[in-house]
Amino acid sequence: MDRAADEPRAPLPHPRSGAASLVLPGHAAAVVRGEADLLAVALPFLDAGLRAGDVVALACPPDVTALLCGELGERARKVRDDPALSLMGARAPDALARARWTAERADSGRLRILSLQDFGPTPADWREGVRFESAANRVMQDAPVDRLCLYDRSRLPAAVVETVAATHPHLVVDGAWTPSPAYRDPAEYLPRLPWPREPVEDTAPVLALDDVPTLVTLRHELGRVLAAQVPARDQREDLHLAAAEIAANAFRHGVRPVSARMWTDGERLVCAITDSGRSFADPLAGFRPAHGADLGRGGMGLWLARKLWDSVDLLPGPDGLTVRLSTRLHPA
Domain parsing of the chain, residue ranges: 27-192, 199-328
Say how many C-beta atoms besides its own lie within 10 A of residue 59's C-beta: 28
SS3 43: helix
Asked if 226 and 295 count as a contact pair (C-beta separation under 8 A), the reply is no
What's the average model confidence in pLDDT over 55-81?
97
Of 321, 11, 14, residue with least CA distance to 181: 11
Strand locations in the chain, DSSP E? 27-32, 55-59, 79-81, 111-116, 145-152, 170-173, 176-179, 207-209, 258-264, 268-275, 311-317, 320-328
In words, the CATH class of domain 199-328 is alpha beta
Q: Hey, do 27-192 and 199-328 end up sharing a CATH topology, with the first three levels equal?
A: no
pLDDT band with cut points at 50, 70 and 90 for residue 114: very high
Say how far apart CA 302 and CA 312 lie, in whole Å. Answer: 8
Report how far Cα 121 is from the mean position of its chain's Cα atoms. Answer: 15
How many helices (H) and strands (E) in the chain?
10, 12
What's the average model confidence in pLDDT over 311-328?
90
User: What integer best gives the mean pLDDT of the chain?
Assistant: 88
Handedness of CA 83, 89, 95, 101 (dihedral sign): negative
What's the average model confidence in pLDDT over 288-295?
62
What pLDDT is recorded for position 284? 87
Of 94, 109, 33, residue with least CA distance to 288: 94
Query: Computed over its alpha carbons, how large is the radius of gyration of the chain?
Result: 21
Q: How far is CA 302 from CA 173, 211, 253, 266, in A?
A: 37, 22, 13, 25
What's the average model confidence in pLDDT over 149-174?
94
Residue-wise pLDDT tens digits, 214-235: 999 999 999 999 999 999 999 9
Handedness of CA 300, 241, 88, 72 (dihedral sign): positive
What pLDDT is recorded for position 145? 95
Say how far apart CA 251 and CA 123 lie, in whole Å. Answer: 31
Per CATH, the number for 27-192 is 3.40.50.300
Asked if 303 and 288 count as a contact pair (C-beta separation under 8 A), the reply is yes
